[in-house]
Amino acid sequence: MTELRIYSDADPAAPQIESSDFETIQALLARAGIKLERWHTNAVIESGVDTHAILDAYAEDIERLKREGGYQTVDVVSMVPSHPEKDLLRQKFLDEHTHREDEVRFFVDGQGLFSLHVGEQVFEVLCTRGDLISVPAGTPHWFDMGPNPRFTAIRLFDNPEGWVAHFTGSNIAGQYSRLDN
């Protein structure tokens, strides 16, 4: 279930708002310039499914986003608790960073915690199966897949090089929640 907590960036201990109502979450994020959609997940995606089968299952929505956002590259990333580099990969995303392009992720399965530093607030968004989140270029954020990650996500890029992070040097990410799954 998708969840949202909004904090003052000066007080990581007490959320100002908490919600698990998708429409409320969607509206609150939209006010902050963050796009959140819910896609139908009728396709049965099992561990080890071919990337092409996943992309084919969601081809219509992917093509719509490519048209709307000018995205050029699409791929699929999967993580499982037994991945030998899970700790290294988790650490890579835990520090606040930005991108010169939108960060667009559709959760085919599993979950991940996006934390977005917008103005003087931190939006913690637990994305789960069926959620598409689009973080606008230049938005400071971090991502936690948890100590035992289990997710499959479609990623869309307008940069053919894919994921390129620009770290802010801030320690704010360490003051907020982590995903314990």
Would you give the DSSP letter of residue 161? Answer: T
Q: What confidence score (pLDDT) does residue 159 get?
A: 74
Identify the pLDDT of residue 46: 60
C-alpha span between 85 and 99 (Å, rounded): 23
pLDDT confidence bin for 158, thresholds 50/70/90:
confident
What element of type H or E holds 36?
A: strand 35-38
- What is the mean predicted confidence (pLDDT) over 151-159? 90
The answer on pLDDT for 134 being more than 80 is yes
Rounded to the nearest integer, the mean pLDDT of the chain is: 92
DSSP letter for each residue of 122-137: EEEEEEETTEEEEEPT
Residue 62 to residues 39, 47, 71, 119, Cα–Cα distance (Å): 11, 21, 9, 30
Sorted by where each begins, the domain ranges of the chain are: 3-165
Domain range 3-165, CATH class: mainly beta
pLDDT band at 28 (very low <50, low <70, confident <90, very high): very high
Q: Which of 167, 143, 133 is nearest to 33 (CA)?
A: 133
Give the torsion through C-alpha atoms of 59, 46, 133, 74, to 10 deg.
-40
Q: What is the pTM of this model?
A: 0.93
Q: Tokens 């990337």 — which residue? A: 51
Q: Where are the beta strands (DSSP E) in 80-181?
A: 97-98, 103-118, 121-128, 131-135, 141-144, 151-157, 166-167
Whether the pLDDT of residue 145 is over 90: the answer is: yes
Contact 97, 165 (CB under 8 A): yes
Summarize pLDDT for 46-66 with one digit per residue, the tens: 656 688 989 999 999 999 999
